[in-house]
Structures are given as C-alpha cells and as structure tokens.
Amino acid sequence: MPKALQNIRVIDCSTVIAAPFAAGLLADFGAEVIKVEMPGKGDPLRTLGPYYNGEGTRWATFGRNKKCITLDLHFEEGKELFLELVKKSDVLIENFRTGTLDKWGLDIDTLKKANPRIIVIRVTGYGQTGPYKDKVGFGTPATAFSGMTYISGYKDRPPVSPPFSLADYIAGLYAALSAMISLYYRDVNGGGGQQADVSLYEGIFRMMEILLADYQFNGVVRGRAPSLNGTSSPGGTFETKDGKWVVLICSTDGTFEHLTKAMERPELMEKYANNADRLKEDVYMNSLVSDWIQGLDYELLAEKADKYGVPVSLIFSIEDIMNNEQYKFRNNILKIPDEQLGEVMMPGIVPVLSETPGEVKWSGPAIGAHNSEIFSSLLQVDEERLAYLKERNII
C-alpha cells in the first residue's frame, strides 16, 4: 500500500522533544527521515528517563521509523556532507538556538544554494525574531510565558505546570503542519522552498483566545481555576459514591438539557436553560451535580450519562488505559520489537487514514545505525573517504 509521504526526504538534525516529534509524525506516514546526530553522543533524549535496566525508554518511540546517521557539523567536511544531503532532501527540521547554523556556515542562503526547493523548519523557544530570540527555550518556561501556567491549578495554591512536555508536543504538531503547508505550496501551487519559524510558546498561546477576549472586553485577568472557569456551566471534577474521580462538562445548552434528564431534574430547564444564566450561579450548579454524582456508583453514572448523551469520563490512569477496550480496538498501544529493551509499548499512529495509513516499521535505532546506507548508497561516499571520516570522528 502506498504511503502518504513516500518520496519525501526529511533531515532531522534536532534533539529532545518538539522538533524530533514533528519529524517522527512525518516518518509515521512514510517520509524518509534521516536523523543527524553527533558522533558518540547522539540525541540527549536517548538517555532521558524513565529507565529500564539502565536504558532510557523514550528513545524507542521518538526514534521510530527514522534512519540514524552521525555527522559533526563543526568540521568543514561534515558541513560538505550535510549540504550534499540537503541537495537530496525536501525538508530540514532543526531546533538549534537562533543563529547557530548561521555561525557554522549553514545559513539559509547557503542551504538554498545547495537546494533552492529546501523547506527549513526552525523550532526555538521564542522564535527567530524579537528581544527573546536568544533565550534558551524549554517547554516548561515557554508554557509559563504562554499564559497557560497562570490559569492552571487552584486559587489557594501555587500555579501548576503540565506534568509532561505539553508545549514541546504542541510545537511539534505546528512544525509538522508547517512542513505539510510548505510542501503543498511548493509541489501543488508551484512555489519554492521557504522557512517556517515555530516557537514553543506560540503554539499554546494560539489556544488562549478566551484570555484575550475576556481581558479586552471585560478587563478580566483570569486566574487559576481547576476547570473551564467562566466558559460553561456546570462542569468540573467530581467524585462518585464508590470513590471514582470523573469529569463532566456541559459546553452547550443542549448538553445541559440532557443532564437534567439524566438527573431527573427537568425543572432546572425553567431557570437555567441558557449558559449565561447558569454561569451566574456556577457554584450552585456544580454543587447540584456534585451531590447527584456522589449518590451514584461510577458504573451507574456511566450508564445514565451514555443513555442521555451527557459527556462524562472516568479520569483514566495509565493502568486504566492499558485495560480499556476502546484503546485496544483503536490500536492506540503498539508493541514493537527493540534491540535494547526487547519489546516496547508505544502510542499508535495518529491520525487514522483510510487509504494511506501510517505504520511503525522499527523502533529507535542505535547511533549511526544507517551510516553505511546513507553515506555509501545515497551520498556515494567511497570506502576510503568513509574510513578517513570515521578516523577523525566526523561521522
């Protein structure tokens, strides 16, 4: 079966999460992704926890479907080989600090001279321009800068950062989207190569229109709230009679009507049919829902919610996920052979495409596992030169 991105070659010379995640998404759908790493070191993500038998467990997923080569761009010979690779590629994804490639003699003009059609995706903490362009970029500080951390948590406690690298993954999605937009512009609309400037903070800030609108029109500086404060009511986190934690949300008036039927409280529609009216008495509305849910075991609650179309979900742990039939049916968890770890569970392919589905062909390879294939076959480097490059630790 043909792959959606077959014949697209991507150079991934990035590290850790955001940009490598973007390259991995393209690799899932058939792009040939060549990951360029420093000889002997590799991507730092290879050694990040959690660990199993002393091995980092995340690389197996992040490196899946990628071909790994080693190349030191500090050397002139390394830069020459890199430009040869650029000539034969469609997309370059990098996340060096702003201006790093320029300092190494691999500025955009040099890249375009090697390949006028090259698409360069740059991922940094704060973007390629502006007074923050040289700041070190990591996901947790970028999330704080985006405005998200300020509104996360409870009013009487410190702000809460996401417990995983949310900003990096969102930026990775935008980076992959940038690559696809640029490829469409180049290959369908007759354009040329271009650069994409993706920052860690802007991906989250793009989702913060509610903060802007409330501040602009109402002068409200939103603070910490554990639910969708000020947008819809009722909604939040509730505990069932048998000690299960669930979330419930009524984002539309129709959903609230369904809830009143499930609660057997149709009279609530007389006064609270409109969301604006419910928001005025949000505390009261949530107390009604809390009392109702506290009187039901989770299984009965789920039965009633599903019957009437009320959006309720158990708050799933990873153990719950592992045993869930929906996750199993959708192939959300794959088991992939791995040289270091034996067999690795990893998230499945997203999105699900009918005609060109993605696949996981292999887990994260060893450092330099594809040196021979790429340097000898693709770039036509002879054995004598390869030996010289290895001796000098350039590859």
What per-residue confidence (pLDDT) applies to 227?
Answer: 73
Give dist(CA 229, CA 225) in Å, integer. Answer: 6
Give dist(CA 193, CA 177) in Å, integer. Answer: 15
CA 198-225-233 angle, to 5 degrees, is 105
Token output for 25: 């998404």
Tell me which of 12, 28, 168, 338 is the catalytic residue: 168
E strand or H helix at 272: helix 268-272
The closest of 198, 95, 208 to 149, measured between CA atoms, is: 208
**Confidence class of residue 103 from pLDDT cuts 50, 70 and 90?**
very high
Any idea what DSSP says for residue 225? B
- pLDDT surpassing 80 at residue 134: yes
**Confidence class of residue 231 from pLDDT cuts 50, 70 and 90?**
confident
- pLDDT surpassing 80 at residue 226: no
Half-sphere exposure of 299 (CA within 13 A, CB side): 0
Q: What pTM does this model have?
A: 0.95
Structural domains of the chain ordered from first start: 9-206+329-391 (3.40.50.10540), 235-315 (3.30.1540.10)
The closest of 91, 81, 93 to 115, measured between CA atoms, is: 91
Quick one: angle between helices 18-28 and 166-187, nearest 10?
Answer: 50
Give dist(CA 4, CA 136) in Å, integer. Answer: 35
What per-residue confidence (pLDDT) applies to 265?
Answer: 97
Q: Are 3 and 29 in contact (CB under 8 A)?
A: yes
Farthest-apart Cα atoms in the chain, separation: 85
Instruction: Express each pLDDT in 18-38 by its tens digit.
Output: 999 999 999 999 999 999 999
Instruction: Express each pLDDT in 288-302 by its tens digit.
Output: 999 999 999 999 999
Sheet with strand 245-249: strands edge to edge: 235-239, 245-249, 312-314
- pLDDT surpassing 90 at residue 2: no
Q: Are 265 and 234 in contact (CB under 8 A)?
A: no
Q: What is the mean pLDDT of the chain?
A: 96
The closest of 283, 284, 164 to 225, measured between CA atoms, is: 283
Any idea what DSSP says for residue 375? I
47, 64, 321 from 52: Cα distances, Å: 11, 18, 21
Give 161: exposed, middle or buried? Use CB within 10 Å, 0-12, 13-18, 19+: middle
DSSP codes joined into one string, 142-174: HHHHHTTGGGBS-TTS-----SS-HHHHHHHHH
Instruction: Express each pLDDT in 335-377 by its tens digit.
Output: 999 999 999 999 999 999 999 999 999 999 999 999 999 999 9
Tell me phi and psi for residue 119, to 5 degrees: -105, 125
* 277 given a catalytic annotation: no
**Confidence class of residue 108 from pLDDT cuts 50, 70 and 90?**
very high
Q: Are 104 and 23 in contact (CB under 8 A)?
A: no
